[in-house]
Amino acid sequence: MATDFQLDTGDVFDPMGDTFTDINDSDWPAGSDFAVDADAMNGCSWIVGGNFTADGQDLNATASWVLTVTGTAIASGIGNVEYCDASGGTEIDASAGPWVDGENNSGWKFFDSTIQLPVMQVAI
């Protein structure tokens, strides 16, 4: 399905394994949700020709799905993503919001809680 896809606040959407192509920006605002089924995102493909923003969605899956973005890609708010292959485009930056890496994702940057301590040199 080729479309210029936008989610509106209050929308609940089930992609049902389809392919969606946004020739422009794609914005998934807070308050818009995907179906809560554990396999809601399974097998679907999203191709975004512009910038991508997601704010607090639960992108549940039990099998692979694809997200390809050519512009900037930001995931903010509190969200969860599972089984997403975003390696074919811009890395999805989810490091600012507390997005949960539900595992089996590629092409996503999550918050890194690793603390780098300075190295101390001791003279002997």
**Domain boundaries in the chain?**
12-110
> Average pLDDT in the 85-98 region?
93
Token representation of residue 57: 């969605």
Higher per-residue confidence, 73 vs 10? 73
CA distance 15 to 20: 9
At residue 111, the pLDDT reads 81
CB-facing half-sphere around the CA of 115: CA atoms within 13 A: 1
> CB 115: neighbour CB atoms within 10 A?
5
Q: What is the mean pLDDT of the chain?
A: 83
Closest listed residue to residue 55, CA positions, set 32, 84, 89, 87? 32
Q: What is the torsional sign of CA 101, 85, 96, 10?
A: negative
Q: At residue 85, does pLDDT exceed 60?
A: yes
